[in-house]
Amino acid sequence: MPLEGYISADGPYTGLTKDQLLECAYRPAWVRVRYMLLIAYWVGWATMLAAAITLIAMTPKCSTPKPLQWWQLSPVYQVYPLSYQDSNQPPDGVGDIRGIESRLDYIKDLGVGAIWLSPIYKSPMKDFGYDVEDFRAIAPVFGTMEDFRSLSEALKERGLKLVMDFIPNHSSNLHKWFQRSIKKQDPYTHYYVWADAKGFESDGKPVPPNNWMSVFGGSAWEWNEDRRQYYLHQFLKEQPDLNYANPLVLQEMKDVLRFWLDEGVDGFRMDAVAHLFEDEELRDEPINEEGTSEDEDAIVAYQDLDHIYTYNLPQVLEVLREFRILLDEYSNTETKIMMTEAYMPVRNLMEYYGNKSTPIAHFPFNFEFIELKKKNLTAESVHNVIKSWMDNLPNGAWPNWVIGNHDNSRVATRFGSELVDAINMIILLLPGTPVTYNGEEIGMEDTAVSWEETKDTFGINAGPVNYKKVSRDPERTPIQWTAGKNAGFSNANRTWLPVNPNYPKLNVEAQLDATWSHLRVYKLLTQARKEEAVMNGKLDVQVLDKKVLAFTRVKEGFPGYLVVVNFLDDKVTVDLTTLRHVPEESTVYTFSTTYATNFTMKKRIANSAVVLPGKGGLVLTFVPEFQETSIPL
């Protein structure tokens, strides 16, 4: 169309009319332009949609952690029944089941999730219940089966779990199985490990089958005149070893587990499991070059032999696997836990976890902290203990941390009372399940108790821990509840073990009333375990300036936690900003009792210059800093 049709020759431009616009719009050139723009729009839109879908698909997912189970969420609290609380009327100076029940509100308030009961089975008490006369009965000194059921119900009402000690390696020599085995009454004839004498001396005295030694010293063999054979006892002579080469024995012990599971027990701590099997050929064990005897030819202690024929034989794991299968059968609604006790190098102990297809223990006890001695307790040694366990841990396995039990000196005695809070900070905030021996939450100390004083107390006899007859009682004395008579443990004139003389000042009641105390720190730590970073966060452990241990627990999107401990006697100042994810400032969550009383919680501090007193421990919270990562387009 000519230009004159749109522009007047004698006037300014007046625009296009509607008809002219329509006429122009339908020209072939403009139609092509419109189609091209429309196609470009949809192609662009489709490209952006595809890119968005691709980005979503390629972006790493934030995996939802598998929900933790009851035995992973909270500490396990070991209760030593003889020393927890005497409830008898009149009082007899010995702890009992009803006494434990009377203290459950205290246990609940600690923030623990389960109690593990040391043995309460019917027993002559030659070894504090580890010489079991009847695996299905309660020792009268502790109460009755009705008392046990009452305790079990009271625990459930408070949301607490009950774990029992299980002693699979041996029974009492008074057990009916052993008495019938002596007489060769089937099927009990081979329920125990019997062997003929190697020979007889000129005076007719029998010679043991081999050189095997008892853990407590002396030969592991005891002659039985009635049967005219030796029986094996890797512990006391009153504790004959069961014979797991006999399938009937395994079946009997599985039936014992079923009995207690049917009573509502939530799991077992299995004692001395590495001793379950012995060499069937009864070969002599080789001399341990690192043994304790001064005379190279003398074998006087358990440590003098290398126990390749009596300890941790391959069949042990097979039996434990059978126990685990049984527990899993009872785990339809909630897991029935299996914890195992064995002392050996970490790498070997990891076999007790089993694997994903054939699990064994939920966890074998980690005694690495107990193995540390005061003289070699440093930031570096603790770092190595943590790294050793975590680095050797099988894929998917759950860690645990044990700092004390009824067989080892208390933390305050081993490491010093100043470090009680710091050690609790470490084990309670590391990944895994911490196990607390009763009394460690208030920093109880060993009590001076000699073997002669306690070798026959109230009919209870511990037996020597070794051939030198050293008492195992110092860490087993009564819990110190109050400053009253017998520390509030019992109103009896005499308690089965003496109460530590420091009880007027070191007791639960005093620490609950104090402005700051071991107990208050402990309870704050169990509360912190409920936080996402502590439950499911990553762990980073470092040694700062060769003297301070520090570790962080972080998970993106949640507050982080930082534990820092000074193992030196002197005050130190450290820069925590060198740790990953740690910002310039953090907030004090809790601190050890070694700090000055004017130090406060919720205080903001600069992470570049954190002051720690001698033996001081500190827990900080912070907002973790994560490096921004670019998403490729």
Has residue 248 got a pLDDT over 50?
Answer: yes
Residue (of 221, 266, 240) closest to 133 by Cα position: 240
The model's confidence at residue 468, banded by pLDDT at 50, 70 and 90, is very low
Angle subtended by helix axes 518-528 and 420-429, to nearest 10:
10
Q: Please tell me whether the peptide bond between 187 and the residue prior to it is cis, using omega within 30 degrees of 0.
A: yes
The mean per-residue pLDDT over the stretch 424-445 comes to 98
H or E element at residue 590 = strand 585-591
> What is the model's pLDDT at position 558?
97
> What is the model's pLDDT at position 465?
38
Express each pLDDT in 175-209 by its tens digit: 999 999 999 999 999 999 999 999 999 998 999 99
Express each pLDDT in 323-382 by its tens digit: 999 999 999 999 999 999 999 999 999 999 999 999 999 999 999 999 998 778 999 999
Has residue 5 got a pLDDT over 60?
Answer: no
Residue (of 388, 390, 381) closest to 415 by Cα position: 381
Angle subtended by helix axes 28-58 and 18-25, to nearest 10:
70
The mean per-residue pLDDT over the stretch 88-105 comes to 96
Give percent of the chain with pLDDT exceeding 70.
89
The mean per-residue pLDDT over the stretch 32-52 comes to 80
Of 147, 341, 368, 445, catalytic: 341
Q: Does residue 279 carry a catalytic annotation?
A: no
> What is the model's pLDDT at position 49?
82
Report phi then psi at 262, rounded to 5. -65, -20
- Average pLDDT score over the chain: 90
Which residues have a Cβ under 8 Å from the Cβ of 630 and sit 6 or more positions away?
A: none
CB contact burial 585-603 (16+ within 10 A = b; e otherwise): ebebbbbbbbbeeebeeee
Q: How far apart are CA 84 and CA 439, in angstroms?
A: 9
The mean per-residue pLDDT over the stretch 46-59 comes to 77
- Extended strands (E) in 377-428: 400-402
Has residue 440 got a pLDDT over 50?
Answer: yes
Has residue 300 got a pLDDT over 70?
Answer: yes
Express each pLDDT in 368-395 by its tens digit: 999 998 778 999 999 999 999 999 999 9
Neighbouring-strand partners of residue 363: 339
Of 101, 165, 241, 271, catalytic: 271
The model's confidence at residue 463, banded by pLDDT at 50, 70 and 90, is very low
> What is the model's pLDDT at position 547?
93
Q: How far apart are CA 132 and CA 120, in angstroms?
A: 9
The model's confidence at residue 458, banded by pLDDT at 50, 70 and 90, is low
Q: What is the dihedral of CA 351, 354, 356, 357, to 10 degrees?
A: 130
> What is the model's pLDDT at position 469?
44
**How does DSSP classify residue 161?**
E
| AA identity, residue 94 | V
Give percent of the chain with pLDDT exceeding 90.
78
- What Rg value do the Cα atoms of the chain yield, rounded? 34
The mean per-residue pLDDT over the stretch 434-460 comes to 81
> What is the model's pLDDT at position 60?
62
Express each pLDDT in 573-626 by its tens digit: 999 999 999 999 999 999 999 998 778 888 999 999 999 999 999 999 999 998
> What is the model's pLDDT at position 11?
58
Contact 377, 415 (CB under 8 A): yes
Q: How far apart are CA 495 and CA 515, in angstroms?
A: 31
Residue with tokens 């910002």: 583
CB-based burial label for 538 (10 Å; 0-12, 13-18, 19+): middle
> What is the model's pLDDT at position 632?
38
Token pair recorded at residue 331: 């785990």
- Extended strands (E) in 7-97: 76-79
Q: Report helix, strand or coil for 430.
A: coil
- HSE (side-chain half, CA atoms, 13 Å) at 581: 25
The mean per-residue pLDDT over the stretch 498-505 comes to 97
Q: How far apart are CA 81 and CA 460, in angstroms?
A: 13
Q: Does residue 341 carry a catalytic annotation?
A: yes
Angle subtended by helix axes 315-329 and 247-262, to nearest 10:
30
> What is the model's pLDDT at position 462?
44
Which residues have a Cβ under 8 Å from the Cβ of 60 and sit 6 or more positions away?
A: none
Q: How far apart are CA 601 and CA 412, in angstroms?
A: 24
Of 7-16, 61-70, 398-407, 518-527, which range is least confident? 7-16
Has residue 74 got a pLDDT over 90?
Answer: yes
Residue (of 585, 575, 593, 565) closest to 428 by Cα position: 565
Query: What percent of the chain is helix, strand and coil (3-state, nearest 5)?
Result: 30, 15, 50
Has residue 290 got a pLDDT over 90?
Answer: no
473/312: higher pLDDT: 312
The mean per-residue pLDDT over the stretch 216-243 comes to 97
The model's confidence at residue 125, banded by pLDDT at 50, 70 and 90, is confident
Contact 485, 491 (CB under 8 A): yes
